[in-house]
Amino acid sequence: MTQLHPQRLLKIAQFELVRLFLTKRGLLAVAAFAICWLLILRYPIGQAVSLISSPEIAELAQQVFGAIGLSKLLDWPEAELAMYWLIALYSFPSFCLFLCSDQLVGDKQRGTLRFLSLRATRNEMLFGRFLGQVFILAALLIVTLVAAVAVMAFREPALLMTGLSRSFMLFCYLLIAVLPFIALMTLLNTFARSARLTVVLAVLFFAGGNIVVGLLSWQIPAMAMLNYIFPGVQLDQMAGQNAGLFNSIAIPVIQTVVMLALAQRIFARSSL
């Protein structure tokens, strides 16, 4: 039951890609996502240079970005990527909560997991579905990044090579940043009764959890450490490129590992 066969794991993960890109419902979600990003690419990203570099706005931008710790982004010659980074860093984790809301729960309710469990271990199903969502998010990140780089290269072709190397770095950071959000949804999927409920529970976790931790840390300051249980705790620091490697990589990776370990414990003993 606990075995993890790489081939079966990959097959299950690949099936998730098919579910998103080759089914009607999946394609509708992709279409909605594409339209949102076309608007983002057309306006905030497409206008990034004029917004950030115009003499009228430059001083204001410097003040505003400096105040919220984003002044480093103004130094990027690839202004489109700076704008992309800010939007993607906050939108992808939120989008993730909806996109990854039905990893196991729908199949569990329908009984489809019973067919799968005769051919794959529970670990393979759990981690395969998680990995599938990671593949999907990676694919969506790549597509949006390529589009942002294309917009940038259209304005200034000379920036293409530096833009590509910077976008590769952004891709890695963004993918790592969304991992704990996907893992949180994997965890919620192990005990929730519906995909909708997993989204509700996730919202409650963030909203209610932050209030509780806020109150606790108000009474006992050391309790502020509890903020580290929330995925995305490091995003504000990452946004301004002010986060160290520990914050940018280690925190989300540790959160992901802990949530997946919890999910594994629950799923291994749950009834299908």
Partner 1 sequence: MSTLIQATGLTKQYGSKLALDNVSFEIQKGAPVALVGPNGAGKTTLFSLLCGYILPTKGTLSILGHNPGSSELFGKLSALPQDAQLDPRFSISHQLAFYGQLQGLSSKQSQAEAIRVLELVGLAEAAKQRADDLSHGMRKRVTIGQALIGKPQIVMLDEATAGLDPIHAREIRQLVSELSSEATFILSSHDLTELERLCSHVLHLDKGKLTEHPKQNNSNEQQIGFITLLLNEQYVDVEAKIQALPDVSKVYMSQAKEYVIEYQKTATAFDITLLQFCYQQGWRYRQLVNGHTLENQIFKQETV
Binding site for partner 1 (CB under 8 A): 1, 3, 5, 8, 11-12, 15, 18-19, 23-26, 107, 110-112, 114-122, 269, 271-272
Q: How far is the CB of 100 from partner 1 (least distance, A)?
A: 17
Structure tokens, 254? 């540790």
What residue type is 76 in one-letter code? W
Query: DSSP character for 191?
Result: T
Amino acid at 33: F
> In terms of CB distance, is 3 or 165 closer to partner 1?
3
Shortest Å distance, C-beta 271 to partner 1: 5
Distance CA 147, CA 107 (A): 34
Measured CA to CA, the distance from residue 186 to residue 189 in angstroms comes to: 5
Nearest to partner 1 of 23, 165 (CB atom): 23
Closer Cβ to partner 1, 78 or 107, answer by number: 107
The least distance separating partner 1 from the CB of residue 31, rounded to whole angstroms, comes to 16
Burial group, residue 241, by CB count within 10 angstroms (0-12, 13-18, 19+): middle
Query: Least distance in Å: CB of 115 to partner 1?
Result: 6
User: How does DSSP assign 75-98, residue by residue?
Assistant: T-S-HHHHHHHHHHHHHHHHHHHH
Residue closer to partner 1 (CB basis): 42 or 110? 110
Q: Which is nearer to partner 1, 196 or 269 (CB)?
A: 269
Phi then psi for residue 222, to 5 deg, are: -65, -20
From the CB of 8, what's the least distance to partner 1, in Å?
6
